Amino acid sequence: MTDNSWLANIEAAQQQQRDNFIKDLKGTGQSISGRKDLGMRGLSTLGTVARETSPPQGHVSAPTLQIHITHLPTKGKLSLNGWVNQFSDQFQSTWSGTPVYGRMDDLYTFQRTGRKISIQFDVLAADQSEAASNQDKLNRLAQFLYPVYTPQSVGSGKNAKSFGRNQRVLVSPPLLKMRWANLIENNQELGGLTGFLNGFSYTPTIEAGQFFGPFTSGEVLNYQQYSVQLEFTVLHTHLTGWSRATDGTYVFGGDEEQAAVLRDFPHRALPPGSFPDPGGSSRALSAVQPEDEVGNQEAASQQDAVTKG
């Protein structure tokens, strides 16, 4: 006689999770949709995520939640439906200092300003099929970290030549484009940012449950929720810096036309086209009056005089 007590335990745990979920939902203004139980957890999806501070259970497909990644060498693309829990955009300027005898401060020379983005998000599955799809996407993202090599063979006919695995030459590094809403976005073209991943890790949330099977071709186990961490170094594809315009003001982006486009660098705050006057109010927000430059020069002269004195 088959012992099915394990199945009864799972069903009891599912019901308990569902009861806890409904209890926590009260008072948030949310509603539970008419969808049936979702996977191992047996939970229903939320009707809206507008006021929810934790991810809805199951499929998250709103465009503003999708993280798009393109592998530039192969043009491979994937979109992850993720609920972002942590996000940081770090800008770090590098200066080289030269010590001088009798001077308390080094003589500094500016080198560069670099940018790194760190993002952590949850990938959720509503059912067994979506869990398998999420695992496939995470596999593909891991593959995106690897470069492109020369073909296995070149030439044809008598001139054909085959190469061993250790004889191939790297021809393209694993550069990526990544986009997420307006926070990971190229302001010039409203597309993805170009760069590379310093690291990628994902960890299943064990307590969220898992999907077993199908067992026809071997044991399969896919988790309902994964926590994904990405560290992305941005490579600037447009000029980032100030230049003097024809009216004497300083504009960000290299020229007056670019200043109208890049006024929202690095994070666009409003939808495209929300600033109807790119030559007026938009540029004014990103312009620096020449008086500021004179003031800086005067301050530098005073500091130099104090140092020499």
d(Cα 152, Cα 162) in Å, to the nearest integer? 6
Sorted by sequence, the CB contacts under 8 Å of residue 58 that are 6+ apart come out as 35, 38, 39, 43, 45, 124, 125, 126, 127, 130
**CATH number for the domain formed by residue range(s) 66-149+158-237:** 2.40.30.200
CB 126 within 8 A of CB 45: yes
Strand 210-212 to strand 221-223: parallel, antiparallel, or no bridges (unpaired)?
Answer: antiparallel
d(Cα 120, Cα 122) in Å, to the nearest integer? 7
Give, rounded to a whole angstrom, the gap between the first and last alpha carbons of the chain: 99
Averages of pLDDT over runs of 10 residues in the chain (309 residues) are 52 62 55 37 33 48 80 94 91 94 93 95 87 92 92 65 69 94 87 92 90 69 92 91 83 74 81 55 45 46 46
- Residue 295: the pLDDT is 44
- Residue 248: the pLDDT is 81
- Residue 210: the pLDDT is 86
- Residue 246: the pLDDT is 81
66: tokens are 């999708």
Cross-strand pairs, 259:
none
CB atoms within 10 A of CB 24: 11
229: tokens are 């961490």
d(Cα 178, Cα 196) in Å, to the nearest integer? 9
Q: Where in the chain is the domain with CATH 2.40.30.200?
A: 66-149+158-237
Q: How many residues does the chain have?
A: 309
- Residue 240: the pLDDT is 86
Whether the ω angle into residue 266 lies within 30 degrees of 0, i.e. cis, is: yes
Q: How far is CA 256 from the centre of its chain?
A: 29
- Residue 243: the pLDDT is 83
d(Cα 227, Cα 119) in Å, to the nearest integer? 11
- H-run or E-run covering 121: strand 107-124
AA identity, residue 247: D
CB 58 within 8 A of CB 224: no
CB 161 within 8 A of CB 153: yes
256: tokens are 């007056």
